[in-house]
Structure formats: structure tokens, C-alpha cells
Homo-oligomer: A and B are copies of this chain.
Amino acid sequence: MTALLPEGLRDRLPPFADAAAAIEARVLGAIHAHGYERVDPPLAEFAEALGTRLKAGALHDAVRFVDPVSQRTLAIRPDLTAQVARIAATRMGHHPRPVRLSYAGSVLKLRASQLSPARETRQIGAELFGLDSVAAAQEVVTVAIDALAAANVARPSIDFTLPDLVDTLAAGPLPVGPERLDDLRQRLDAKDAGGVAAIAPDYLPLIAAAGPFEQAVDRLRAFDRDGVLASRIAGLTAIAQTLDGRVAMTLDPTERHGFEYQTWLGFSLFGGGSSVEIGRGGTYTVVHEGGAEEAATGFSLFADRLLGDPPVHDRRRLFVPFGTRAADAARMREAGWVTVAALEAGDTPEAQLCTHLLADGEARAL
């Protein structure tokens, strides 16, 4: 019974834990190379304050407890970006913009969802505070694709969306009453042509403007007779040029689920031909103390989904026979070897999963 873990929580064992740590280090290195410096917020915060920066309802998914010190409710973070935004807006609020921050840490949810059964996941990401321009998006998307490359993600792909597209059109050339707007958004997101036709048939061509990037952008451009989307289309095209050839690209301009808090741009990251998202990002708004708003652009990766199975992991281990002088083993470690010393006469290279044996001062393959 003591071996049993709660649903959605798990141990990571050898060699997977080392492989995951190695991948995380490479991903963070790729992000760091673009000037994103690490911040490390605490596991728990005051629930109320954290809730103001989380998506609506997200606090209900957080583990909460009463702090015996302050007698207030604390929450274990269900998401790291809310904390990083807090740091950018408060403790680093005086720093010249843009501010580039990176992070990696565990997040915990009270309940798992059907789509993501893990309750504890590892989140890695980068956020650029102060800009949501095309140049900012080009950089952030480049960092994201560099991060996937560092993790050896096969066949990376990116799916773009325009989260405020329907709002923009409804406020301009294709008016929709506010009471029907949310319904329209949902039906477009669901590609429900009948539903869209019943509410606002003018929006129907948007459903066809999804798919491989070039073709979808062309359809979006044809749809945009009034030019109200021109800057967005130009931005998407510029971002796509930045990534040209590095990654497969698609556009789903009305996808909205999970992008409710993004402004003009959102994107999902995929790899290995899987339909399971391994990361997402986009442009958004951060609220400073006092209420001032600031543009931001960033992305997060779900680190657990970066680890293929079986992992690519070098597990060379040098068996050091019982009685070998300590200095001889130390010399092999200095030369880069992982040494596994026999501490009893009966220990064997096989029991210790060793690939090599130290004999006559040299490593011999087994």
C-alpha cells in the first residue's frame, strides 16, 4: 500500500529522470542564449493575489490551504506564468523594457482533466515583457522553436491563431450583437458551420481559412475585403518568414479554446506527428499595481511531453573493481567517466548496469 501514489502523481525513475533533467537543461540553455534570465517564484502564494493573475476559474483547480502564520489562504501554483507576470509587474517593474525572463518549475493541480491526466507537471518557458509587436512575436517564436530543437523534438510544428479576430470583426465590418458574440466564438472554434450560419453567415469563410499556413493565409486575405485584418495578416506572414523551413506551420484563425487571455496572436507547438500540444504561447496583457497595462509575449512548454519513449540517454557506466585505489577512480571521473565502485568483493558490473570495466588503469567495453 505504501507504494501506491495518488492518481495523476507519479515517480520518475532511472534512466528517465536523468533524461528529463538533461532535456530541461538543454531547453533552458537555448532560451538563455536569447538573453532570457531565470526567475524562480515560490511553490505557494497568497491565493487571492495569485487568483487575480490566473485565468478565470483556475484558482479552483489549485491546491489551497490555510497558512498557520498569516491565517490566510495560500495556493500551490497551478501555473507559473501568473507568477512570472507578477514579478515583471512588481519587483522588476522598474527595469527597462523589454524584460526577458525564463522559468522552469513544477505546477500542481487539485484535479486532473481528461485531456491532461497528470496533476503535477513541469512547466518551462520564456516571457518578454513590454512588447507584443511583430518583432517581439518573431523573437519569441524563434526561441520556442530553438527550445524544441534543443529537446530533439522530431518534426516540430506550430499552429497559429488570432484570438481577438472575432471581436475585431464584430466591432468593425461584420457587426454581431454582444449577446450573440460568445456563442459565435464557440461555434467558430468548434468549426460548426451550421451554427455559424444561423448566427452570422458572413463569418462562414473563416472556417475554411484553417489549414496549412500559406493556403489558410491566402483565404484569410481574400476574406478580409475591408482590410481590417491587414496588420494581423502582415504580422503572421512576417513571423512565418522568420521560421521558414524550420518547422511545419498551420493557421487556425478562429481557434480560441485556451487562448481567451491572448491578444492578437496565439500559437500551439506540436512535435513527433502527435496531436498532443507540447507548448503554447502568444501575446497578452499584464496588469501592474495601480492598474496600468503592459503588453507581453511568451510561451510555455509542458516539459513532460518533451520526453520521448524510450529517451535518448547516454548511460555509459564504468565499473570500478573492489579494492581499486580511490585515486584511480577519481582520475576516470575527471576524464568524464561515470564510475560505479564495487563496495564488496561480490559486486559485479552486470548488477550495476555497467557498460565498461576499469582494468589496468583503462576502461574496457563489456
Q: Which residues of A contact B (CB under 8 A)?
A: 1-15, 17-18, 20-21, 25, 28, 32-35, 37-46, 49, 52-53, 63-65, 67-70, 72, 74, 76, 83, 86-87, 90-92, 96-98, 100-101, 104-106, 108, 110-112, 119-120, 131, 133, 135-136, 138-139, 142, 242, 289, 317, 326, 333, 337-341, 343-344, 347, 351-352
Contact = CB atoms under 8 A, between A and B. Distances in A.
A15 B44 contact: no
Given A6-B67, A6-B74, A20-B40, 12 more contacts: A2-B49, A3-B90, A3-B91, A9-B44, A11-B41, A12-B39, A17-B39, A25-B25, A97-B351, A98-B343, A98-B347, A135-B344
Nearest to A334: B33
A53 B6 contact: no
A338 B86 contact: no
A35 B69 contact: no
A64 B65 contact: yes
A338 to B, nearest CB: 6
A2 B289 CA distance: 8
A5 B39 CA distance: 15
Contact of A42 (B4, B10, B28, B41): B10
Contact of A49 (B1, B20, B340): B1
A134 to B, nearest CB: 9
B40 A12 contact: yes
B38 A18 contact: yes
Contacts of A83: 11
A2 B53 contact: yes
A131 B322 CA distance: 14
B14 A37 contact: yes
